[in-house]
Amino acid sequence: MTWDFLDNKAILVTGGTGSFGHKFVQTLLAETSAARIIIFSRDELKQSVMEATIPDPERRLRFFLGDIRDLPRLQRAFRGVDYVVHAAALKQVPMLEYNPFEAVQTNIIGTQNVINAAIDQKVKKLLLVSTDKAANPANLYGATKLCAERLMVASNSYSGADGTKLSVVRYGNVVGSRGSLVKVIEEQRKTGEVTLTHEDMTRFWITLDQGIDLVFNALARMHGGEIFVPKIPSMKIKDFIQAMAPESTIRVIGIRPGEKLHETLITPEEARHTKEFDSYYVILPENRWYSLEEQYAGGKNVPNDFFFASHKNSDWLDHEGLKRLLESL
């Protein structure tokens, strides 16, 4: 698929200095003819480093300091913007269990601010980057991202038929992102010992490039109200560690506060309104006033008891598959 729909358009990324945002902006510069690419974030140092390290000979990049908790600042930033990708969030699970209302203010109230600004400034499309932890959440981070998803889907009723379209992408652990398991293992293996919270723990795995492809495809296809979920493989954390650090011993330390044994991307409740395509699923909105059945008629209905969870997956990474994935980073 080409990204012609971005030609001469303005696109803004909240949380644009994070791992996803950094790679997404590089891809926008390299593969699209977007007129303006705006990074909206609250970290001036990361913006300064990003500006200094990403080549921008056509001067398409704009850096906008601000916090999504600040609605007036968002209103100013969104003026004249066609597309917004909302990736800003607080996401460190143990830290948010200890500082719960900080997560609420950023991930829930901040998302509502983004929605309000997008609708008020007549942004064409707004896409939320979500997480598998939002499905059947067991921690505060997951609960706040579930709220963010629900806000995004329901807000299509406020924007109207010709207004802003709002949708979601939901995916699993990003291999090699800032603070990811790969980075933790690389540091711990220097000591000869790597910690593991539970021997049976499983996770979904996706690369940054795959996540970015999902976002581009969702931006191109979305009608508003959908949740896009990629078909991605699972792997046991123990196997992941053994593949990355075979010479290290593994010490089991117990599950951390808010940590799940397995993650979920589509729940059995969501299966009743989910369509399957070759490389992804689309969870359609349940609201009776807003049906997308016609737009997604080409998809296949999944079984009513379908459960896309990391321990129930039909696609598993082995050591060789993980090696190829890491080499692609």
pLDDT in tens, 234-282: 999 999 999 989 999 999 999 988 889 999 999 999 999 999 999 999 9
What pLDDT is stored for residue 329 in this prediction? 65
Contact 114/126 with Cβ under 8 angstroms?
Answer: yes
φ/ψ of 13, rounded to 5, equals -120, 115
What pLDDT is stored for residue 1 in this prediction? 57
Contact 279/258 with Cβ under 8 angstroms?
Answer: no
What pLDDT is stored for residue 303 in this prediction? 93
Strands (E), 124-218: 125-131, 165-171, 173-175, 193-196, 202-207
Residues of the chain under the 50 pLDDT cut:
none
What pLDDT is stored for residue 177 in this prediction? 74
Sequence spans of domains, the chain: 4-173+207-231+264-310
CA dist 229 to 2, 160, 192, 210, 282, Å? 20, 25, 37, 12, 6
Neighbours of 297 (CB within 10 A): 8
- pTM surpassing 0.85? yes
Residues in the chain, how many?
329
CA 93 to CA 262: how far, in whole Å? 15
Answer whether CATH 3.40.710.10 is correct for domain 4-173+207-231+264-310. no
What pLDDT is stored for residue 325 in this prediction? 78
Annotated active-site residue 133? The verdict is yes
CA 121 to CA 116: how far, in whole Å? 8
Which of 23, 91, 125, 133 is an active site residue?
133
What pLDDT is stored for residue 103 in this prediction? 97
CA 177 to CA 211: how far, in whole Å? 11
